[in-house]
Amino acid sequence: MSNIYQVKKRIKKGINSNLHQFILNVAIQIITIPFFIHFWGLSLFGEWIILSSIPSYLAFSNFGVTDASSTEMTMLVGKKNYNKALSIFQLSWFFLTVISFIAGIAIFLTIYFFINPSSIGIMTISNNQFITIALLFLVYTFISIQISLLSSCYKSVGQFPKLINIMNFFRALEFIGCLLLIFMGVQPIGIVYFYLLIKVIHFIYIKLDVFKISPWYVYAFSNYNYRDFRILIKPSFASGIFACGNFLINQAPILLIGSSLGASSVSVFTAIRTLSRITLRVNGIVMPAVMPELSRAFGSNSKKTIILLNRKLMKYAFWSSTLITIFLLIFSSAIISIWSNNNIEMQKIISSLFVLESYTYLVWYVCSLAVVSKNKHFSITINYLLVKLFAVILIYFSLPHLGLKSVPVIFIGANLIIGYLAISKMLSVTMDSPYDLLVSIFKIKLDFSKGFINAIKNF
């Protein structure tokens, strides 16, 4: 079989798996908000969202090592350098285990001694339950970090579709169980215990399965070289800063809105943010399947494949997100009202601003994929973090005066700045011509409607 055929086959399987994941995620999001609001009410649902943001703090202990090691392992396997890929895996596992354990203890002690639940908008859940839920969520996240590293093994050996199917199964199991427990009257602390049980089972299964598909990926201390870890320092730091920036735009607004406007406003924010981010969900059908192939192409220095994959990815992202954005600009307010059973009344201007924010966010995100696939995103990460940090500070001061609409307005400006930087770096990494890239994006033939695979038949 030709290499081109193998690439198309892997991408096709990845897209099919991601399509199932997209359908699952959309189903979860459609059901979650009205279901939780019906059984728990706006306030308790808002408090649950605030509590569920706690794991993101421990996720920082990853420092981007998982993303960087995944990319590096994929490129090394593409070069048939299995020994070095194993060394990267073992070093990453040791680092993540030690650091995330220490960070988890530090975060728990900080929450236990210094965080007052009422200061972040939590009024219904007792202080003891708040502490217990925080601890359980931290353990949950620690196990998730281990799973994310094991996921790198699937990606590196071309088993990404299988990974997505496994993730989909456990996500569905977690969600269905959660709904049944809430229907039976179980409160947040019981839900977190259930989440943790499913996560432990997930970890055990994926660990055993990784050994089956690639037995040479083993936990040991005899096959690694400390010098190999130097390869990961720069890209890991860059990915860690990306994660920090993502926290600032995803979790920081929840805490700021909760403390400034109350838990009910957090529920409103979550509803419109979830709907507006459907553009990212749709693009998530294709992007994760293509990124490992971009890494392989960079590893083998196949310029033609790099440019072609990136152009098709950009074209798919532009047209799909543009059409969805136009639809949401017209109907988002009505959808929110129906979706929440009229519990949330959304002003047209606010819903439109959130939709446009997601559209501008997608610009820099898509452009960064080729850069991240080569582990060359270090140069834009500092600017990314500083811009997002400045945006969050502006939101903090503007929320009491302008309300929710200040969040999308400020983030739109930040996204445009980062988008410019990401586009410049993407053109440099792919060595593509801006003119040729634009021509390929705006070509009248809408081949994305026939599927992404048909778009790369010209290999």
Q: Which of 68, 418, 52 is nearest to 246 (CA)?
A: 418
DSSP state of 253: H
Rounded Cα distance between 269 and 259, Å, is: 13
For residue 306, give both structure tokens.
Answer: 């790099």
The alpha carbon of 197 is separated from its chain's Cα centroid by a whole number of angstroms, namely 23
> Got the DSSP string for 296-343?
HHHHHT-HHHHHHHHHHHHHHHHHHHHHHHHHHHHHHHHHHHHHTTTS
Rounded Cα distance between 48 and 318, Å, is: 34
Rounded Cα distance between 446 and 453, Å, is: 13
The alpha carbon of 296 is separated from its chain's Cα centroid by a whole number of angstroms, namely 21
- pTM for this prediction: 0.71
**Each residue's pLDDT tens digit, 142-168:** 999 899 888 888 878 778 778 888 998
Looking at the chain, the whole-number percentage of residues with pLDDT higher than 90 is: 23
pLDDT score, position 452: 46
Q: Which residues contact 349 (CB under 8 A, 6 or more apart)?
A: 405
Q: Which residues contact 249 (CB under 8 A, 6 or more apart)?
A: 361, 388, 391, 392, 411, 414
pLDDT score, position 83: 80
**Could you tell me if 178 and 34 are in contact, meaning their C-beta atoms sit under 8 angstroms apart?**
no
**Could you tell me if 69 and 92 are in contact, meaning their C-beta atoms sit under 8 angstroms apart?**
yes
Q: Which residues of the chain have pLDDT under 70?
A: 1-7, 14, 17, 56-64, 216, 218-229, 234, 236, 238-239, 377-379, 444-459
pLDDT score, position 411: 93
Residue/partner pairs of 340-346 with CB below 8 Å, 24 or more apart: 340/33, 340/34, 340/37, 340/271, 341/34, 341/37, 341/38, 343/37, 343/42, 344/42, 344/267, 344/268, 344/271, 346/268, 346/271, 346/272
Rounded Cα distance between 355 and 408, Å, is: 8
For residue 136, give both structure tokens.
Answer: 């359980």
pLDDT score, position 449: 42
**Each residue's pLDDT tens digit, 233-272:** 767 676 677 777 777 787 788 888 988 888 888 888 888 8
Strand, coil or helix: what is 374? coil
Q: Which of 101, 99, 100, 93 is nearest to 219 (CA)?
A: 93
Q: Residue 112, by phi and psi: left (phi above 0), alpha (psi -120 to 50) or beta?
A: alpha
> Got the DSSP string for 145-170?
HHHHHHHHHHHHTT-HHHHHHHHHHH
Rounded Cα distance between 152 and 89, Å, is: 8
Q: Which residues contact 444 (CB under 8 A, 6 or more apart)?
A: none
